[in-house]
Structure 1
């Protein structure tokens, strides 16, 4: 019951035929108490409605418990195959005192090597029009012809699944047994909930790791089914005695290997091309599964319009739902944080550390300037328009892009796949109540909500930036003189759930210390003292005003119920600030999120220091060797020069003596 399929079965079988069921089950390993202590929510067995865990070590008691049940379900994905064989043989000779249904959940891998017939791969239009391809002999793409449960006797498994086919045959041989109704469910490759086969694909996509590979050529068809739909089929089997003994449980999709991998990446990660590799270059325990090439038709119960499908049209058609399930079951929570403070407060160092610790590779540590730069760098017409507008503003640093454009650019990044699933640390934005309101509130609309592209709004005809800025400021500062009817007609706003942060940090620091950090190179900030004074004044006006102007922190408290964590960086170290943020974040519960343990982090830091020390020692050794070689070369050069000088002197002396001899 603690297995992948077992949990789905318990959830769906708690109530069948309008009555509560008493569920007994065995564990993959360990005791019920161990499972309770290991499970994140602490009450797995209770939540699944398991009344009692049966002990497999006491064979007689185990068999007695099983035979007391009116429904027996075994899942070959997690069961001990020897135990299953023993049970089937016991059932064959046992005297059953009541009607019993036995269901064996197997896999379509028992069909993997079935001899295939191939038919042309047509587009939907061609299939509708019935185009005759026999006229021209041209090479066309082909796909396997559909197999149905009527082809049962033709099925041929791979070597690894021979035992599965044998057990299927044993179960089907029980059909003549009195008071026993046996069924085999050939389940497609299972997906959903916490994933098994596709776990590494989802995990790598969540972590944005570019490690996905497609086994060449990648156009093979993989019949799949959601694990919950298998459980629902078991419910149908229990209530309908007229069903066939062998049922194929696959959804209505026809997904290729490449389509599955690209679909997962497109939903949860950066869009990118996945390399197509030979099978020998792919290292995965599920290589055989990913190489499967079958098209299977679902059995009759799954074609019935009344069947309660969870994912009828397949994984990719329901990828948002499936990805959300994966995150829920794996306890993966997006960590969304905003960090604000005055210019020069050093927020970038704290943000970088939080992002690196909690958000893994390519940490989404975002700044407003970075978002603008990335938008301008895009190779699009809209980006060129935005660049022109930004260049026009560059002459006057006090000018900004209009609020609406700023909002949509930042919002677009916060709604990216990485930020939606892993989260973000947004540094230094929003800096005002108005910016926060525009970014984290959305209008409640009754009709269709049409959103324009943010970057497209960066250029609206030949309208000047200064005019837009002036209109914006005028609109924001204009007195509100609407009458009561107009007040009632004002649009309503709600929290933008997709982007709003869960955590906020408010950094405090004196102007003097901020300036010192910038000009000492310890923090990023304005390039000139004039710009620093201007930005500091703007920050103080927006967040520290004495006239009652609401601050950014007040927006989060009033509108989002988020109390920002204040940190006075003038009176604490960088390490103390980071630890304060950690305590604040984990006060709501620790994260899983594939975080490394403190021991792993310490070991990595020690390995890093050891590596740096080794590189430093090697550099010193190289420098010393180079110095020795230079000194040796210099000595050799000097010796050569000295020898040359002696030869010259000797030649001169000889010439002089020869000249004197001739003269005498």
Structure 2
């Protein structure tokens, strides 16, 4: 078993290098040794044991977690089977190559926690091959080479291979031939390379690594790649993202004349694995493709292939405003150095993008879309007039962030463009070679409209709509086509293929252009009576100026029903193309349930998803809503407590008032009840008792109680 260590296996570099290593049989890329002439004489000698036919086992480290709470974890796109084996395999491979920060690739057998140098040292000593990305792990790579060099005696019998993948920025200030400014600096001149000021430490570590490679037990290599591009978050991603989002112009910093050497990540990985396998004599390798393009040429190619084709040059200082462009990436974009690789051109692997980014831009963009799931989402909403197609189309366009295509607006925009060009008013990138043809077409449209009650010919409407569907925005994000086409002939003409060989059998199934064909057909169904009743309930102001007046609506419904019978409907055309419509009755489905059914049928959006700024804004809005909710809850609680306090105080006051009233009433009752008793006492008891007490006071007997008793007994009125 041969173990290889790869730094940051969750980065695009580490992810793809480890993937290629685990799919490479150890020794499979080494050239076969020719038998020696005296082979027969050496038959008795023991032959060296052949290496086992097994792939490399990969261990590695992970990227350190980022502190930013607003970080967006870019997930690869979902795998959607199309039935085309070649396209499906390419999409599956692009998704597998897409690295997700913080996620260990399934082919990596073991990972070491970042910062755990003790475990990392033991892991490195246990590996036969060590591969470090200097751009992302500069300090750790420096520590690793020093550690391995100090302990080289321990693996003298089994030498290790150390490969450092650096950057061409260590060549950024290298001067070329003063007599020939266009001459290229060759790989052999690496000893005189001069770095960019921000990459001096990289150069120092490169030299240190090569120096430690002089030990027989430690073979070291430095590979300096050009600007590495791939479908993930590469140095050109900000351009791909802006172009896919239909930015009016892509930004080129500076004058764009600087020559930026490049290489695709797949080719760089093959160079690394080839170095691991063949152990070349050359210790310093330039990994650069044949594309000697300037920054402006690269930006222009991306814009033309994915965007509007427009490029705007801005001062270099404007890069400070671009949050998607780190300082290190900006430094690399501004590099201007003409380099010529050497040994990599003699390697035996098959290059993927040897000619460079521009020559392979179509394939690269397809990988970019496949890896990120940025496939266009194309929807048609079909149904009778006034059934709710426009409302549904607008909701779908907003939910999926795709383009709403309304035939009337498309025709108006096309006619307005023809009128503008006929008047000699051209856009910044428009040519004047077709102005006469545009004038003729405009005149033809106006004559046809005058002869047909303001309606343009169907063939021109179809051409305008087809041009819209083939526009870059619709090719990037997709579209929702509102209520069109309505008849089979329109659908056949709109989606007909320019290649007659695309169809299976043109007599049975017409050939269609799959690059603009819809993915989903939503058919809204309702009876004429339901639609008429629905329109009649609308206020007159909502109907005025529309085609939903009573007479117009009846006519439109009749035309639709005539063109769409059970036997002959445009839905059958799409059904034959394996694009099966989803039929929904709006009579029995409310608006929210209708949209839920459609969204469930269509699936998730095919776009980038929320940005870090959008996520931060959503969190801010959610936090504000939560704070407001808590404040309202606290205010409500205080209000309730105040009301309860006031209610309690009022209840206590009422209780006290009632209690006082009761006491007063009881006092009055007692007083009323005590009047006869008082009268009785005052008449029969008190006079005698008073006399007795006076007598006791006068006499002062030894036993006053007994004396009083005798007095009362003697003077009892009853005894007299």
- TM norm structure 1: 0.71
Q: Distance in 2 between matches of 1:435 and 1:417?
A: 22
Tell me the equivalent position of 1:27.
62
Aligned to 2:519: 502
Instruction: Decide whether the 8 Å contact of 1:233 with 1:301 is kept in 2.
Output: yes
Give 2:164's match in structure 1, choosing from 97, 104, 112.
Answer: 104
Q: CA deviation at 1:73?
A: 0.9
The verdict on how the C-alpha distance between 1:119 and 1:409 changes in structure 2, with shifts beyond 3 A counting, is farther
Aligned twin of 2:696: none
Q: The residue matched to 2:263 in structure 1 has which SS?
A: strand
Distance change (3 Å), C-alpha of 1:266 and 1:524: farther
- Once the two structures are superposed, what CA deviation does each residue of 1:66-87 show, in whole Å capped at 9, x if it has no partner? 22222211112332x2211111
CA contact (8 A) 2:15 2:105 kept: no
Q: 1:291 to 1:518 in 2, by over 3 A?
A: farther
Whole-Å separation in 1 of the counterparts to 2:281 and 2:577: 56
2:609 to 594, 610, 622: 594
Larger gyration radius, structure 1 or structure 2: 2
1:338 touches 1:427 (CA, 8 Å); kept in 2? yes
Task: Please tell me whether the aligned partners of residues 10 and 23 of structure 1 are also in contact (alpha carbons under 8 angstroms).
Answer: yes
Superposed displacement of residue 582, structure 1: 2.7
Task: State whether structure 2 residue 221 is matched by structure 1 residue 183.
Answer: yes
Distance 1:181 1:354 in 2: 59
User: 1:438 maps to which residue?
Assistant: 493
Using the TM superposition, give the Cα deviation of residue 289 of structure 1 relative to its aligned residue in structure 2, in angstroms. Answer: 2.0
Question: Is residue 601 of structure 2 the alignment partner of residue 584 of structure 1?
Answer: yes
Change (3 A) 1:429 1:603: farther
Q: Residue 320 of structure 1: SS of its match in structure 2? A: helix
Report how far residue 295 of structure 1 moved: 1.6
Q: Under a length normalisation based on structure 2, what TM-score does the superposition of the two structures give?
A: 0.66
Identify unmatched segments of 5+ residues in structure 1. Answer: 32-36, 121-142, 450-486, 609-664
Q: 1:187 to 1:427 in 2, by over 3 A?
A: same
Specify the alignment match of 1:197 in structure 2: 235
Aligned to 2:559: 538
Kindly provide the CA deviation profile for residues 521-578 of structure 1, in whole angstroms up to 9, marking residues without a partner as x. Answer: 37995387655444332222222x25x22x22333333223332525178524x5544
Q: 2:478 aligns with which of 412, 423, 427?
A: 423
Count of matched residue pairs: 531
- Partner SS state of residue 213, structure 1: strand
Native 8 Å contact 1:345 1:569 kept in 2? no
Equivalences for residues 146-295 of structure 1 within 5 A: 146-210=184-248, 212-280=250-318, 282-283=320-321, 284-285=325-326, 286-295=329-338
Question: In the aligned structure 1, how far is the partner of 2:56 from the partner of 2:624?
Answer: 55
Using the alignment, how far apart are the partners of 1:177 and 1:224 within structure 2? 32
Question: Among 407, 411, 417, which residue is 1:368 paired with?
Answer: 407
Contact 2:477 2:607 in 1 (8 A): no
Check if 1:349 corresponds to 2:349.
no
2:85 paired residue number? none
- The separation in 2 between residues aligned to 1:386 and 1:528, in whole angstroms, is 33
- Counterpart-to-counterpart distance in 2, 1:602 and 1:63: 42
Deviations 1:616-662 (A, max 9, x none): xxxxxxxxxxxxxxxxxxxxxxxxxxxxxxxxxxxxxxxxxxxxxxx
**Corresponding residue SS for 2:381:** strand
Task: Give, in whole Å, the separation in 1 of the partners of 2:366 and 2:621.
Answer: 31
1-structure distance, mates of 2:308, 2:300: 11
Match of 2:578 among 560, 566, 587: 560
Preserved CA contact (<8 Å) 2:381 2:524: yes
* 1:113 maps onto 2:173 in alignment: yes
The counterpart of 2:148, out of the listed 85, 91, 107, is 91
CA contact (8 A) 1:194 1:327 kept: no
Partners of 2:202 and 2:464 lie apart in 1 by: 54
CA gap of 1:489–1:536, structure 2 versus 1, over 3 A, is closer
User: 1: distance between equivalents of 2:232 and 2:382?
Assistant: 36
The 2-side partners of 1:590 and 1:160 are apart by: 41
SS in structure 1 of the partner of residue 147 of structure 2 = helix
Query: In structure 1, what is the Cα distance between the partners aligned to 2:227 and 2:104?
Result: 28
Q: 1:7 aligns with which of 7, 11, 15?
A: 15
